[in-house]
Amino acid sequence: MQIANTVTLVTGGASGLGQATVRTLVAGGGRAMILDRPDSAGETLVAELGDRVAYAPADVTDEAQVAAAVAGTVERFGVLNAAVNCAGVGIAVRTVTREGAHSLGLFTKVIQVNLIGTFNVIRLAAAQMAKNTPNEEGERGVIVNTASVAAFDGQIGQAAYSASKGGVVGMTLPIARDLASLGIRVLTIAPGTFDTPMLAMAPDSIRQALAAQIPFPSRLGRPAEFAALVRHIFENVMLNGETIRLDGAIRMAPK
């Protein structure tokens, strides 16, 4: 699937990895619907990038809101060819702390947003893509999810986050198999330590320490590098059902 003239729904598209993806898609001649929280910078990004971009304020865990965003994408651009799931949240809490047991509510929230929210978007976007006329390769759509290296080597305090991202990894292949007969590919990217707004809040000393753990290149990943992989996934039809680590060969230490 070529980027040019492709219409993509990007969750978490107003900042970080999602925003970089939107910019890359638009630069390549594509169009994008940003699905992000009502308090995000979605409208600001639309004002900057123009009429090849639209914004649907929504919560990925809300069935009606995501369904409306999918329908709004088709209404605005005429079709939905792809979805990129970048929306997510993270916390750092040990299973047992001095205050007691890990909050079940916090654990549930992370699973709800990162895992259930991702599946919510996948199922609704795929149902729409199934209506597309297949291209010369028989392809009707592409879905790219965002996991994390924490799915494989989660650190202290990452029980909820690792569980949520591990779930995304675990459902990638079966969903790809589910959707194969429809000509819809499904892949997941597992980024390492990237320079996103969430990490920007950390002190510079912590950012430098994180960068030093990466074998090569010994720096934080750039959102544009994530977006470049999304583009390659779109354009390489043989990629399907796989989780790709994008991490500079890092393997996270316990803390």
Tokens of 230: 């999304």
User: 38 and 56 in contact (C-beta within 8 Å)?
Assistant: no
User: 221 and 248 in contact (C-beta within 8 Å)?
Assistant: yes
Helices (H), 56-158: 63-77, 104-111, 117-129, 150-153
CB contact set of 209 (below 8 Å; sequence gap of 6+): none
What's 220's DSSP letter? Answer: P
Which residue in 55, 77, 107, 161 is the catalytic one?
161
- 161 catalytic per annotation: yes
d(CA 3, CA 48): 20
In terms of phi and psi (left: phi > 0; alpha: psi -120 to 50; beta: otherwise), the region of 78 is: left
Tokens of 182: 């429809």
User: Nearest-CA neighbor of 127 among 50, 196, 71?
Assistant: 71
**Residues labelled as active-site residues:** 161
